[in-house]
Structures are given as structure tokens and as C-alpha cells.
């Protein structure tokens, strides 16, 4: 197996023609939705993506599957696709998760633990626990300044260790990477194209 994965990230406004073309050229495609601003994710666009991904030629994976493949002799099929969502918003548990669950599409949710439950628009730890108990992979998204506290909050509230991490603002300081390694983070995503680190 080639140790270097070709990773491509797509935001919700991509055109479908580009999406289909790039999937065919990639070992793994990660479709990344970001909802840390005040603007909601577009359910219409996500439903269009769901209809597209229901094509039998696509293999829908979790990020844990990607990690397992990296550390084993497994080979992923062509047209392998994973989905990540970066958001703390209530919209995830109220609207996005039900739509993806109905289509049996897995995804990894990156949360900023420091922002959980800080206003009426964000999910609570109870919401995050419900998602996790229903098979949704929960990763961490944070800044170098807050990463230690984010990991502590995650472990204290979910009772499990995080496996994946997403860098905010594309920041890659060596000290932060070492913190991730010390906490057994297996995979770290950047928030721009073609960035992924297997720690």
C-alpha cells in the first residue's frame, strides 16, 4: 500500500462536475463542511451530495477506517470517500445528523470543546454524547493556545480519548504536534486543501 494518501478537501459550494472528476483521481477524498461561522450549513446542498454519494461506485468510510488502513496492510478501494464536519452548532444534531443517518452515511464531527454549551446555538455535552453513542466519530478542533484544555474537556465529558484533530487557521507549530502525539492523536487535518498528518 502506498503510504502517501492523496487527500482532497471540498467545501459545500463545490460544483458537482469537479467533485466527480477529482474523486476519480484520488485514493481518498475527504469532503469537509465547516460551520463555525454564524451561517448554517445548507441542507439543500448536503442532500444533493447525499444523492450523489448514494451511487454504488462510492465507498463511504469513516476517518477511523483511514487510520486503520494506514497502520495495517489493508488497501482502500478507488472512489473511497469520507466526510468531516467542523461545527458546534445545534443544527448538526437537529438537522444534519438525521439526514446523513437516514442515508447511512458516516461522518466525523470536529468540535471545539472550549465552546460547547456556551450559548443557545451550540450543542451541549449531552448532545455530543448522544452523537458519539450513535456511532458518530468525534474529533477536536482547536488552537495551539487552547489545545491542552480542549483535550482535557473532551476526555472528562466523553470518557474516551480523542483520535483525530483539526488545526484551526492552518497553524502547525511543532509544540502543538508534540502535544497531539503525547495524547495519542492518530490523525490531524489542516483546514486548507491537501493537508493531513498521520502522527
Cβ atoms of 174 and 163 within 8 Å: the answer is: no
Phi, psi of 55 (to 5 degrees): -60, 130
- 2 lies in some domain: no
- 1 lies in some domain: no
Q: What is the CATH number for 74?
A: 3.20.20.370
- 134 lies in some domain: yes
Domains held by the chain: number: 1
Structural domain containing residue 38: 7-198
Rounded CA gap, 197 and 21, in Å?
A: 24
For 31, counting Cβ atoms within 10 Å of its Cβ (0-12 exposed, 13-18 middle, 19+ buried), the class is: buried
Q: What is the pLDDT of residue 8?
A: 39
Tens digits of per-residue pLDDT, 81-134? 889 899 999 999 999 999 999 999 999 999 999 999 888 889 999 999 999 999
Q: What is the pLDDT of residue 22?
A: 35
> Within 10 Å of residue 146's Cβ, how many Cβ atoms?
16
Q: Which of 81, 91, 82 is nearest to 41 (CA)?
A: 91
What is the pTM for the complete model shown? 0.80
DSSP calls for 122-142: BPPHHHHHHHHHTT-EEEEEE
Tens digits of per-residue pLDDT, 133-143? 999 999 999 88
- 111 lies in some domain: yes
Amino acid at each position: 500500500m502506498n503510504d502517501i494518501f492523496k487527500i482532497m478537501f471540498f467545501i459545500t459550494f463545490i460544483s458537482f462536475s469537479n467533485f466527480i472528476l477529482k474523486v476519480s483521481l484520488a485514493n481518498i477524498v475527504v469532503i469537509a463542511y465547516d460551520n463555525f461561522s454564524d451561517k448554517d450549513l445548507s441542507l439543500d446542498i448536503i442532500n444533493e451530495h447525499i444523492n450523489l454519494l448514494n451511487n454504488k461506485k462510492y465507498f463511504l468510510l469513516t476517518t477511523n477506517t483511514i487510520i486503520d488502513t494506514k497502520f495495517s496492510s489493508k488497501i482502500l478501494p478507488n472512489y473511497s470517500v469520507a466526510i468531516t464536519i467542523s461545527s458546534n452548532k445545534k443544527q448538526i444534531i437537529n438537522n444534519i445528523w438525521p439526514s446523513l443517518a437516514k442515508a447511512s452515511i458516516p461522518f466525523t464531527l470536529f468540535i471545539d470543546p472550549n465552546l460547547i454549551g456556551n450559548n443557545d446555538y451550540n450543542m451541549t455535552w449531552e448532545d455530543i454524547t448522544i452523537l458519539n453513542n450513535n456511532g458518530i466519530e468525534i474529533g477536536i478542533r482547536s488552537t495551539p493556545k487552547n489545545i491542552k484544555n480542549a483535550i482535557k474537556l473532551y476526555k472528562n465529558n466523553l470518557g474516551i480519548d480523542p483520535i483525530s484533530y483539526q488545526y484551526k487557521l492552518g497553524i502547525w507549530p511543532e509544540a502543538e504536534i508534540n502535544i497531539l502525539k503525547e495524547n495519542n492523536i492518530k490523525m490531524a487535518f489542516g483546514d486548507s486543501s491537501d493537508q493531513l498528518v498521520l502522527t
